[in-house]
Amino acid sequence: MSILISMKRGVIVLIVLLILIGSANAAYFEKDECTNDGAASFYFRVDQGEKVDVENLKITAISPAGKTLDVTKLGIWDAYGEISYIGIGSLFKSKEVTFNEKGNYAIEIEYVSWISDTEFRSKRKTGEISCPGLIFSCTLLNATVNKCSSKDGKFEAEIILKGLIPSDLPNAKIINLTDGITYNFEADKMYQDIYGSYKRIASLPSNYKITNIGEDKYLIEAEFANNTIRSLDIAFTQSIHYGYYLDIKRCYGANPLPLSSLKYCEILTTPKEEVAKPVETKEPAVVPAKNDYVPTIILSVSIILAAIIVVLFRNKDK
């Protein structure tokens, strides 16, 4: 009986050893981290007897909501080529705004393990990453001044600000229209801005108004009495505070979208209305009515006078 028990124990130990040996010869997956900018990173390592070409790995992620994502091309490995030594591996770093949901992502890595130069096996390794959910990413930001104009002391500008509300998570601090964004107005004369400064180049005027006119578009309106705005420059600040613990992120230098925008404004004026001059009306000259007998009468009188003069001269000569 004791011999039989010993044999059973030996078989169990052998099975356990085989399992351990089998697992030791397989590549394995290590989670690293998942951050609130929607990026995740993890290691893929190999053990003894494995040869894996990193460039041929396929990575699939299944989100907490069940959405399947092929993230193979949504990131980079820190080392390419063949990995074949114990403990040697490569770190995969995904792009931001990829792992956006809060919860656990199932990760599946498909790879080819070369046993020899001519023999290989297709294998699959799974793991899991817990993500906090997207709160903020520099790649979501975009600042553009579409147009601006100054007319008779009134200023208007249409701007685009993307990334202001990057997260639907409760209690997450978001970037709003004045927090994390700077405004610089260039005016002809000094004016008072929202910080109480009197400058020719300053921030939003104290009487400003910003209205959302559709999605990421906003209309800035302000009164500048006897003043003209020449240009408007908007920009996201160098350090942006966000998240539950007011994390700080510097977005300049790595963001593909414009984080600032300068626009020279159109200067408009209202044309002065010309006073209509009254039209002078001349009364037509009174033309005396024509009398057809006047010339005849004059001629007759002239003949009579001539005859009288002739008679008088003749009588004188006698």
Q: What is the per-residue pLDDT across 34-81, written as a single tens digit (0 to 9) for each?
A: 988 899 998 887 766 677 777 778 999 999 999 999 998 888 877 655
Quick check: do 22-131 and 138-268 share a fold?
A: yes
b/e burial code for range 127-138 (CB count within 10 A of at least 16 → b): bebebbbbbbbb
Q: Which of 65, 31, 247 is nearest to 138 (CA)?
A: 247
Alpha-carbon gap, residue 119 to 108, rounded angstroms: 23
pLDDT of res. 263: 92
Let me know: does 158 contact 218? Beta carbons within 8 Å: yes
| Residue-level pLDDT at 265 | 93
Q: Which residue has the higher pLDDT, 282 or 150?
A: 150
Position 284 scores a pLDDT of 60
Q: How would CATH label the architecture of 138-268? A: Sandwich (2.60)
- Taking CA 31 as the corner, what is the angle to CA 88 and CA 100, rounded to the nearest 5 degrees? 135
If DSSP codes are grouped into helix, strand and coil, which group holds residue 246? Answer: coil
According to CATH, the topology of domain 22-131 is Immunoglobulin-like (2.60.40)
Residue 145 or residue 300, greater confidence: 145
Q: Which pLDDT band, with edges at 50, 70 and 90, does 8 fall under?
A: very low
Radius of gyration of the chain (CA): 47
Residue (of 256, 251, 236, 261) closest to 138 by Cα position? 251
- For 269-275, which contacts have Cβ atoms below 8 Å and span 24 or more sequence positions? 269/151, 269/152, 270/151, 270/152
Residue 126 pLDDT: 86
Mean pLDDT, rounded, of the chain:
76
pLDDT of res. 105: 95
Domain residue limits, the chain? 22-131, 138-268
If you average pLDDT over residues 11-22, what whole number do you get? 38
Q: What is the mean pLDDT of residues 247-268?
A: 76
Q: What is the pLDDT of residue 253?
A: 61
Predicted local distance difference test score (pLDDT) of residue 164:
72
Tokens of 106: 């199932």
Please report the pLDDT score of residue 104 as a whole number: 94
**How far from the centroid of its chain's Cα atoms is residue 57's Cα?**
34
Rounded Cα distance, 162 and 114, in Å: 47
How do residues 105-138 score in pLDDT, each as one tens digit? 999 988 888 777 777 788 888 888 999 888 888 8
What is the pLDDT, as a whole number, of residue 149?
Answer: 95
Whether pTM > 0.85 for this model: the answer is no
Residues 6+ apart with CB under 8 A from 115: 49, 51, 121
Sign of CA dihedral 70, 73, 75, 77: positive
pLDDT, residue 185, reads 95
Q: What pLDDT does residue 301 have?
A: 65
pLDDT value at 19 more than 60: no
Q: Per-residue pLDDT tens for 188-235?
A: 999 999 999 999 999 999 999 999 998 889 999 999 988 999 999 998
